[in-house]
Amino acid sequence: MGRVIIRRIRRRVAKAPSKLSRKSTAANQPVPAGQKPAFGSGVLGLGDLALPTQEIDVIAAMFDLAGFTKFCNRVDPHLSIHKYLNDFLEWLFAKIADGLSNGRQGHWAELPFFSKFRGDGVLFLWNTSGMTRPVICRILALLCEIRQAYKSEFMPKIMNDIDKPPRVLRCGIARGKAFSVGEGKDYVGHCINNASRLQKVGPITFCFAQRGFPAQQYMPVNYQGKFVLKRTAIRGVGEDELVWVLKSEFNRLPPKYGDLFRDP
């Protein structure tokens, strides 16, 4: 009789999944819609991180709001941050889309395939595969126009609603390869880091790497002569990098920045 009971118990144990196996099975199940995933890399929203990396030739443009941290540290920032960011980002994306528009014929260049808010600015990536050199340089001119339009167009409007918003929009641009992370929900690459560094070279508000941008030959006519080629140290990139900066900004540099740039 005892042997029969033992055999029955063994059968029940074999049929019943252990607590560990039940937890493992549940962890591998898709998360129902509206339910938060368990704490882990999935909360980053990058998709399957085990997928092979895809590399893309890109233009990386980093817009940075100079003074945004100070703006957020003001008294009762929660009363104005949401309004400012909503209006600024709507304006910025619209300016890029409108600037690339060719009327009823569509766009003269593809829209950025990737964009990401970076805390105090926005990163944009363009796929340059099949993009001609004149188009690449025309994108540079557009980004420069947007940087200036922030001061002349956006600021007068936002100052009616927001007191002392960030007054300067910087832009740094570089070319190179970007590498996908997960399911293309994010990208990494030297050119992205370079663009981030280029947007904060001293008091200069617009700067792009010489590498990959044939500005002398293909810049739009109305922008030819507006930039000057200089050498400077870029943190994390090199001590003697060639960059293009606006001639008007370079000519207005205070004496204390005399050693920031050197002739090629």
Tens-place pLDDT, residues 71-116: 888 778 788 889 999 999 999 999 999 999 988 788 999 999 999 9
Give CA 143 to chain center in angstroms: 14
Write down the pLDDT at residue 36.
66
pLDDT over 60 (residue 13): no
Write down the pLDDT at residue 37.
65
Q: Where are the domains of the chain?
A: 55-199
Q: What average pLDDT does this structure show over 245-257? A: 93
Residue 207 CB partners (closer than 8 Å, separation 6+): 171, 172, 173, 198, 199, 201, 243, 244, 245
**Encoded tokens for 2:** 């005892």
Q: Give the pLDDT band of residue 224 (cuts 50, 70, 90).
A: confident
d(CA 171, CA 138): 15
Q: What pTM was computed for the model?
A: 0.83
Which helix or strand (DSSP H or E) is residue 207 part of? Answer: strand 206-209
Which helix or strand (DSSP H or E) is residue 179 part of? Answer: strand 168-181
Write down the pLDDT at residue 102.
87
pLDDT over 60 (residue 240): yes
Write down the pLDDT at residue 30.
56
pLDDT over 90 (residue 39): no
Q: Which residues sit opposite 97 in a β-bridge?
A: none
User: For residues 47 and 185, is the Cβ–Cβ distance under 8 A?
Assistant: yes
Q: What average pLDDT does this structure show over 204-219? A: 95
pLDDT over 60 (residue 122): yes
The pairs formed by 79-82 with CB atoms below 8 angstroms and a separation of 24 or more are 80/162, 80/163
Instruction: Mean pLDDT check: name the lowest of 19-23, 116-120, 136-140.
Output: 19-23
- Residue 114 φ/ψ, nearest 5 degrees: -150, 140
Q: 197: number of CA atoms within 13 Å, CB side?
A: 18
Tens-place pLDDT, residues 135-164: 999 999 999 999 999 999 999 999 988 888
**Encoded tokens for 205:** 């508000």
Topology adopted by domain 55-199: Alpha-Beta Plaits (3.30.70)
> Smallest Cα–Cα separation from 109: which of 91, 136, 146, 90?
136
Task: Name the percent of the chain lying above pLDDT 70.
Answer: 86
d(CA 231, CA 188): 25
Write down the pLDDT at residue 7.
47
Write down the pLDDT at residue 25.
39
Q: Give the pLDDT band of residue 33 (cuts 50, 70, 90).
A: low
pLDDT over 80 (residue 10): no
d(CA 131, CA 213): 12
Write down the pLDDT at residue 105.
80
pLDDT over 90 (residue 31): no
Higher pLDDT, 200 or 31: 200
